Chains A and B, each alone.
Chain A
Amino acid sequence: MRIAAIVPAHNEARSLPRLAERLRAHAPDIDVCVVDDGSTDETAQVAAALGWTVLRLPMNLGIGGAVQAGYLWALEHGHDVAVQIDGDGQHDPADLGALLAPILAGRADVVVGSRFLSNGGFKSTLVRRAGIRYLSWFLRLRCGARVTDPTSGFRAAGKTAIALFARYYPSDYPEPEAIALARRAGLRLAEAPVHMHDREHGRSSITMLRSVYYLVKVSLALVLLPQRGERLADDGSA
């Protein structure tokens, strides 16, 4: 069983050593692939020095394009499972066991880590929680996916899901849409309790005005969800 860790990173050179430490402690056999999304700091050098594979995107593609590059890598290298972990330190490799369990047991194709199913940890602000609840409700309404933390970028994908996401992955705030895509493709979803930390360095890319754009964009994307397979364009982004 070969497991890949896809770590999208944009200027996260300072956070990566800590992630490496936690990964060594909790998942020493995992193949780490850092996707350097056009960083201007030493992200790629730090990741390479840690002995990880580094995918250096020649320009900033945003989280969707970066994560998809990771899935393409996992598909090409024949990994059975791929885990998405943010490079900024908010996801804890200690939860990998819980996140992988449903896939290893053959019960799910995609597992979404949910901060609301665990005790303690960073639960985000009240306003954002309201947004997350709305997205969760909308996802269930639109495609019957029951996910309590649809914006979570801490997730695991089995072999069929890797192939799907390597082919189609949304751009521009892709997390809720990716769940809908997986659901539409007939994949089985599961959730796992995870702990999230507040960012160690840097600021979240999501500000107040962007939150509004986020909700509008994601809602529209969910309304306009392509039909199963056939209406997805063959150009890689959905």
Chain B
Amino acid sequence: MPSDRLLPFEIQIISLAVLGVFSAWVLWLIRTRKLHLRDSLIWLLTTLAAIAVTAYPPLLAWGADALGIQVPANALFGAGLLYLAVNVLFVTIAASGTTSRVRRLAQECALLRAEIEELRASAERKNAGSAERAPPVPRR
């Protein structure tokens, strides 16, 4: 069996268990609304690919062969790094989006606060005016 050569059976089982637990964790985080499905889709998809390769190692050999990589283990490391890099990039994209939105919200807060202060000041002026029963001041 070619899978014996590429990946010892024990490691295959342990890897599958780890990946399974990881997927379950991500799914649980989504179900409990700690992770947005939108942001975590890339984790699920890449983990699924990792499960496929682990469950059927000839896929890795085939991929390594197609890319001209002599040792399939190197293809595994390469794929692992790519997996992490892609996921980190997606996290960075999400962080950038959040930064832009926070900036816009902060600006909106400042504008609204200035508006409220102005309204409060004009209301106080009006109240003070009616309390003293002063004749209406023509607006300039």
Q: Which residues of A contact B (CB under 8 A)?
A: 35-36, 48, 53-59, 61, 65, 68-69, 72-73, 76, 171, 233, 235-237
> Are B104 and A57 in contact, with the CB atoms below 8 A?
no
Contact of A76 with B111 at beta-carbon distance under 8 Å, contacts A53-B118, A61-B106 already known? yes
Contact of A61 with B111 at beta-carbon distance under 8 Å, contacts A53-B118, A235-B97 already known? no
How far apart are the CA atoms of A171 and B111 in the complex, in Å?
19
Query: B107 at the A/B interface (Cβ < 8 Å)?
Result: yes
> Are A58 and B111 in contact, with the CB atoms below 8 A?
no
Contact of A65 with B107 at beta-carbon distance under 8 Å, contacts A54-B114, A73-B114 already known? yes
How far apart are the CA atoms of A47 and B104 in the complex, in Å?
23
Across the interface, name the chain B residue whose C-beta is closest to A69: B107
User: Interface 1/0s, chain B 1-43, versus A by CB < 8 A?
Assistant: 0000000000000000000000000000000000000000000
Residues of A with C-beta under 8 A to B126: none
> Are A59 and B114 in contact, with the CB atoms below 8 A?
no
Q: How many cross-chain pairs have Cβ atoms below 8 Å apart between A and B?
A: 54
Residues of B with C-beta under 8 A to A72: 107, 111
Q: How far is the CB of A175 from chain B (nearest CB, A)?
A: 17
> Are A58 and B109 in contact, with the CB atoms below 8 A?
yes
> Are B110 and A236 in contact, with the CB atoms below 8 A?
no
CB interface residues, B 78-136, toward A, < 8 Å: 97, 99-101, 103-104, 106-107, 109-111, 113-114, 117-118
Residues of A with C-beta under 8 A to B107: 55, 57, 61, 65, 68-69, 72, 236
Q: How far is the CB of A37 from chain B (nearest CB, A)?
A: 9
Q: How far is the CB of A14 from chain B (nearest CB, A)?
A: 22
Residues of A with C-beta under 8 A to B106: 57-59, 61, 65, 69
- Most chain A C-beta atoms within 10 Å of own C-beta, residue among B103, B104, B118: B103
A and B contact pairs by CB, cutoff 8 A, 28 listed:
A35-B110, A36-B110, A48-B117, A53-B118, A55-B111, A55-B114, A57-B106, A58-B110, A59-B106, A61-B103, A65-B106, A65-B107, A68-B103, A69-B106, A69-B107, A69-B110, A69-B111, A72-B107, A76-B111, A171-B103, A233-B100, A235-B100, A235-B104, A236-B103, A236-B104, A237-B99, A237-B103, A237-B104
Closest 9 CB pairs of A and B: A235-B100, A55-B110, A69-B107, A236-B104, A237-B100, A65-B103, A57-B110, A57-B106, A58-B106
Across the interface, name the chain A residue whose C-beta is closest to B98: A235
Across the interface, name the chain B residue whose C-beta is closest to A233: B100
Residues of B with C-beta under 8 A to A68: 103, 107
How far apart are the CA atoms of A235 and B100 in the complex, in Å?
6
> Are B110 and A56 in contact, with the CB atoms below 8 A?
yes
Residues of B with C-beta under 8 A to A236: 100, 103-104, 107
How far apart are the CA atoms of A54 and B100 in the complex, in Å?
22
Residues of A with C-beta under 8 A to B113: 55-56
How far apart are the CA atoms of A35 and B110 in the complex, in Å?
9
How far apart are the CA atoms of A65 and B106 in the complex, in Å?
9
